[in-house]
Structure 1
Amino acid sequence: MNQCTAVALLPPPDHLVALSPAGHRPEAGHVLCELGGDHDGQHAAMLWDEGGRPGSAVWVRWKGSGIAQLTPLPWCPAHDPRNEACGLFAAHPSAHSWRITDPTDEAITLLLARQHPYLFPEYRDEAGS
């Protein structure tokens, strides 16, 4: 499943603006939804994790072009067959992270696999090598 393509623009926090030197206002930044493309409701992107403790990951959530909200969320407890943890929050509304593909990242990897097949043995058939 492909990753959702929703993007939100986050303005810099007020305290960061207040601390910035005159004439050097911090710029807004974009975040890309990390959920699978089939989700409904709010979009989500993880901003930072404060040490892996329950509820320590801070996510930004938004709906449509509405206001984005920062919220701490616990990690999803699911693991894949290789015991790799899901990289999304608990009770997320889409597939687990290991089933979500970023199409841009996949396209870049395939291009690199064509140019350097010895570095990407798992892509040999797709890269035409």
Structure 2
Amino acid sequence: MNQCTAVALLPPPKHVLALPAPGDHLPEAGHVLCELGEEHDGAHSAMLWDEGGRPGSAVWARWDAEHAQFLPLPWCSDRDPHNADDACGLFAGHPSGHSWAVTDPTDEAITQDLARRHPHLFR
């Protein structure tokens, strides 16, 4: 399934804006792209950072048309049935398919073009 194409411009949280010392550069708003499979239920979601893989250490942005929030969420514990070394890269209880079943269509198109142009790099 293709990845959801929802994008949001989110401001940094107020507590992050309070961290820099006077004269330091303030964090700016940034774009996030939903990482879930297309046509998912509920809020869009993008992982912002992970602090070491501990349960609940990944901070996710979750948003809809009206609200956005930043939440620490545990990782999905499911593993790819075709490669047990690959764990799902989404949060526990996520809607739609697991990360190994979600394809970023832009990334896929770039990869296919590079493979066509430079087949020796894609053996």
1:64-106 CA-to-partner distances (Å, cap 9, x unmatched) read: 2x22101111111110121110000111011000000000100
CA-based RMSD = 1.7
2:2 counterpart of 1:2: yes
Query: Which secondary structure state, in structure 1, belongs to the residue aligned with residue 2 of structure 2?
Result: coil
Following superposition, the deviation at residue 7 of structure 1 comes to 0.8
3-state SS of paired residue (2:59): strand
Change (3 A) 1:51 1:92: same
Query: TM-score w.r.t. structure 1 length?
Result: 0.84
* Structure showing the higher strand proportion among its residues: 2
Residue 97 of structure 2 is aligned to residue 95 of structure 1: yes
Distance verdict in 2 for CA 1:63–1:104, change over 3 Å: same
Q: What amino acid sits opposite 1:70 in the alignment?
A: F
Distance in 1 between residues matched to 2:76 and 2:24, nearest whole Å: 42
Deviation at 1:22, TM superposition (A): 5.1
Instruction: Show the counterpart of 1:41.
Output: 42
What is the Cα deviation at residue 13 of structure 1? 3.0
Q: Which runs of 5+ in 2 are unaligned?
A: none
User: C-alpha distance in 2, partners of 1:90/1:25?
Assistant: 32
Whole-angstrom CA distance in 1 between matches of 2:101 and 2:7: 20
SS, match of residue 67 in structure 2: coil
Q: 1:46 touches 1:60 (CA, 8 Å); kept in 2?
A: yes
Larger RCO (alpha carbons 8 Å, 6+ apart): 2
Percent sequence identity over aligned pairs:
71
Q: Which has the larger radius of gyration?
A: 1
Letter in 1 for 2:68: A
- From the superposition, tell whether residues 119 and 103 of structure 1 become closer, same or farther in structure 2 (CA, over 3 Å): same
Superposed CA offset, 1:15-59 (max 9, x none): 444436559543210000000002011010001111111111111
Q: How many pairs are equivalent? A: 120
Q: Which runs of 4+ in 1 moved over 2 A?
A: 12-27
Bigger helix fraction: 1
Maintained 8 Å contact 1:45/1:59: yes
Shift in alpha-carbon separation, 1:107–1:21, aligned structure 2, 3 A? farther
